Amino acid sequence: MITYISLLRGINVSGQKPLPMADLKQLYESLKFKNVVTYIQSGNVIFTTDKKEIEITSMIEKAIVKKFGFEVPVMVRKVKEFENVVATNPYTKSQSVIEKRYVTFLEETPEATLNTAINKIDLSPDQFWITGKEIFLYCENGYGKTKLSNNFFENKLKVKATTRNWKTVNKLIGLANALK
């Protein structure tokens, strides 16, 4: 069994796409996932399964539409991938303020030409670093005031995205490792 972390985009925000975590947990269990744990109301779910990552994403997205009647993009990563995110964040060494660090998780690696084009954009004092399917963010005035939003990256990179703060990323790893 492999431990995964899934991140749902845009649920329970300003009354949009309401999805109680207890119902989400039941949905995951109905898909035969094991050791299902949810964390806060923003759609973070840890679980174990033998299924493949691409199959998992499709299963979850289809089940949400069937049960709740709306589409929700879902990003799925193995715990080891989350641990790699923590190990490679370029902003942990240069900026010590944890509340200003975020990670945007992408559905897939963006096309190289789009990646090159977005890297020419300067939105100082905020900074971003794209590596594979993740974007590391340092938001000087917080995520609520930055232009480096999910919509910004989705429009520029043509892939679905969801963002989590640095504390949540670390908490999810801790919860996942507790399942072992």
Domain boundary, last residue among 79, 113, 143: 79
Same domain, 85 and 159: yes
* Percent of residues, the chain, with pLDDT higher than 90: 74
Average of pLDDT values for 81-98?
Answer: 84
On whether the CB atoms of residues 121 and 164 are closer than 8 A, the answer is no
Q: Which residues contact residue 77 at a Cβ distance below 8 angstroms, ignoring those fewer than 6 apart?
A: 4, 5, 6, 7, 53, 105
**Does 175 reside within a domain?**
no
Per residue in 133-166, pLDDT (tens digit) is: 999 999 998 898 999 999 999 999 999 999 999 9
Helix (H, G, I), strand (E, B) or coil at 128: strand
Range of the domain at 124: 81-166
Tell whether pTM > 0.75. Answer: yes
Can you list the alpha helix ranges (DSSP code H) found in the chain? 21-30, 53-68, 79-88, 91-94, 112-118, 150-157, 166-178
Query: Is 114 inside any structural domain?
Result: yes
Say if residue 66 is in the same domain as residue 24.
yes
